[in-house]
Copies of this chain bind each other. A is one copy, B any other.
Amino acid sequence: MGISERKAREKQEMRTRIIEAATAMFMSEGYEKTSIRNIAEKIEYSPATLYLYYKDKDELLYEVQKQAFSQLEDAFAKEATSTDPLTRLSQICHCYVKFGKAHPEMYELMFMMRAPMNSIKENESWDNNTDSFVVLHNCLTECIEKGLIRFDDVMLAAFSVWSMGHGLVSLDVSCRFQGMGIDNTHVEQMIVTAIDHYLQLIKT
């Protein structure tokens, strides 16, 4: 029965068409300007149609978030390639910062906003971030195995490194470094310096 397969394919095409439009609007116009009606208008469908493919806006945001994480993974795969775990750790961190700087709206959706997390069903856990977290986790496992960093527990190390990176990026994204006595154009450099300093600190 090829007809039901085509239907399923068309349904999937519609789903990707929606999230691609949503993602594009998110990155160009920003979160504020992105409403269900705007997305519907962009793909030339009625707003009500979107609800045949996603149960509410949170679920849609969740799917956009998923795609954003897939982009972060790609960035890791491209830029964090060193076989030396310490070098790779540095690559991961700088890649993470670069990603946040390049796509602040996406970063907000991935790590800061509460909205997309609402669509997580009961007894189900958030797994959009797992793959990219595994990249960090594996790297730190290797670092610890070889005794390169001052951590015993891999999980503690992963959470610490991630928190430091996220803290720097998110405070920048939410403009909380402004008016803190540092020149605004030098913030980016300061973030890189802070990351490098931290990586020096955790070295054995």
Point out the residue from B126, B159, B167 that lies within 8 Å of A162, measured CB to CB. Answer: B167
- Docked CA distance A68–B155 (Å): 32
Per-position binary interface string of chain A over residues 114-134, scored 1 when its CB falls under 8 Å from any chain B CB and 0 otherwise: 100100100001110110010
- Closest B residue to A200 by beta carbon equals B150
A114 and B167 contacting across the interface, CB-CB below 8 Å: no
- Closest B residue to A108 by beta carbon equals B114
B174 and A114 contacting across the interface, CB-CB below 8 Å: yes
- Closest B residue to A177 by beta carbon equals B159
A117-160 contacts to B, CB under 8 A, are 117, 120, 125-127, 129-130, 133, 150-151, 155-156, 159-160
Q: Assuming A181-B155, A194-B156, is B166 touching A171 (CB within 8 A)?
A: yes
The count of identical subunits is 2
| Residue A165 at the chain B interface, CB threshold 8 Å | yes
| Residue A178 at the chain B interface, CB threshold 8 Å | yes
- Docked CA distance A57–B193 (Å): 37
- Closest B residue to A127 by beta carbon equals B179
A147-204 contacts to B, CB under 8 A, are 150-151, 155-156, 159-160, 162-168, 170-171, 174-182, 190, 193-194, 197-198, 201-202
| Residue A111 at the chain B interface, CB threshold 8 Å | yes
Point out the residue from B108, B160, B179, B197 that lies within 8 Å of A156, measured CB to CB. Answer: B197
| Residue A14 at the chain B interface, CB threshold 8 Å | no
Top 8 A-B pairs, shortest CB-CB distance: A167-B167, A125-B179, A163-B167, A126-B179, A166-B167, A163-B168, A160-B194, A117-B175
Q: A interface vs B, CB < 8 Å?
A: 108, 111-114, 117, 120, 125-127, 129-130, 133, 150-151, 155-156, 159-160, 162-168, 170-171, 174-182, 190, 193-194, 197-198, 201-202
